[in-house]
Amino acid sequence: MWPLSEALSTDIALPEIGDSAGAFISPQQEYQIGLGFYWRLQQSIDLIDDPEVDSYIQALGHRLVTGSDAPQLPFTFFMVPDPSVNAFAAPGGFIGVHSGLILTSQREDEVASVLAHEIAHVTQRHLLRSFERSQNMSLPMTIAMIAAALLGAADPQMGAAAIMAVQAGGVQGQINFTRTNESEADNLGMQTLVRSGFDALAMPAFFERLQQASRFYTGNVVPEFLRTHPVTTSRIAEARGRAVSYPLMPQIRDNLQFYLIREKLRVMASTDSNQMVQYYADVVKTGNSLNATATQYGYSLALSAVGNYAQARKILLKLIEQDDDRLSYQLALADIEIAVGRLSIALEIYQENQKLYPDDRALTLKQVDALLQANLPEEASKLLLIQLELGVPSQQLYKLLAQAKGDMGEKSQAHSWLAEYYYSSGRLNQAADQLRIAADYAKGDEYQLAKLSSRLRNVEITLSEMEN
């Protein structure tokens, strides 16, 4: 993992969808703009693809979308391996969350408040609206400026460089959200927060803590969120005033899972596993933690990272005694069994948990990976196809399907699923190449050939749009 700011470049390819800044941008076109950025982002950095972390942020995000003023819009939430405190929204509902935001937040409500704010930016089309009003720019140039703005959300210096490149062509623009946009996003975001069962006071509390922390920062080390979403005393006061106007509501949710994911991200982000073990040993000794149970879980993960599986298992088993239905503990235990060579035991753990959490995405992907290691591709394929039927595709799922079909000797299917893997990450040329290979292996199967030909045409059309 490395910071987003070290990896992004400014040559983002986005589809040309019009020639007038005043032209109406349809939701489908808006989605294509965001998808183009999301594809370019994936080609620049390795997003966090841990199935547990991904399932958590998707579940949290979509819970908030349901409580927003546009629950019908498609949203994609993803985690960025960056220690800075930030989140950003692209047109079309693509919302990135830096791992540093999770690690800095003291409650799940705080993360939810930031996500709700970003969701409001999307539903109100703030980014697109700001450029549509700017000096009657052509829409392609508007898109270029939006790309610059999104880069600026990750790193102001890179965003400025992108803008300079656009301005070299004679275009002027402004990338920051206006004060009105920020106020609107705060207001609507808080409504979404409350409707979704979270604490409205979490938003001003988080803003206030960021503002207080910013006093100790200088120069370019100010938290990214404060650069792109300036927090002022008046803004905090307004947010607090809105928050206290909402009645206190009962909040029924699983707070522990937030803390578990938080510790998992902490271990994943560490570059020194031995130092992480010492960190947890010290925290356990002093008792200075937000959640003692999650600290024990993180300690177990850190011990596993240095190969101390015996002690890691001992800690996990104690946690399981207290909460044997907690899937995170079960998955961590299965990881240990695989690491020490007891693959069959891990498969038993997965199978047993399928009874409690049937077709859970994180569980299924971990189980499939183990099944492929055990040379059981048919079983793996069945589980993956169920995930597709449930409507939860992902790059990891496509890649595993390609491997399963390949192990089964179904070469055409293997290459077609590999094509979907490449397509989902924006590597359209590779996707087209894999579809052509799949078609070669499908000779004699007219139905499969027709499907592949149709898919190839669609990919080639998209590729042409992205290059123009």
CA distance 182 to 426: 31
What 75-78 contacts at long range (C-beta under 8 Å, 24+ apart), as own/partner pairs, is: 75/119, 75/122, 76/38, 77/115, 78/38, 78/47, 78/48, 78/54
Cα separations (Å) of 238 from 223, 241, 418?
A: 21, 5, 50
Number of H helices, E strands in the chain: 23, 3
The per-residue b/e assignment along 188-208, b for 16 or more CB within 10 angstroms, e otherwise, is bbbbbbbbbbbbbbbbbbbbb
Instruction: Choose the catalytic residue: 30, 52, 110, 118.
Output: 118
Burial of 451 (0-12, 13-18, 19+ CB in 10 A): middle
Location of structure tokens 């994180």: 362
- 321 catalytic residue (yes or no): no
Query: Rounded CA gap, 174 and 177, in Å?
Result: 8
Q: Which of the following is catalytic: 108, 109, 186, 337?
A: 186
- The two tokens of residue 68 are 């927003």
Active-site amino acid positions: 118, 186
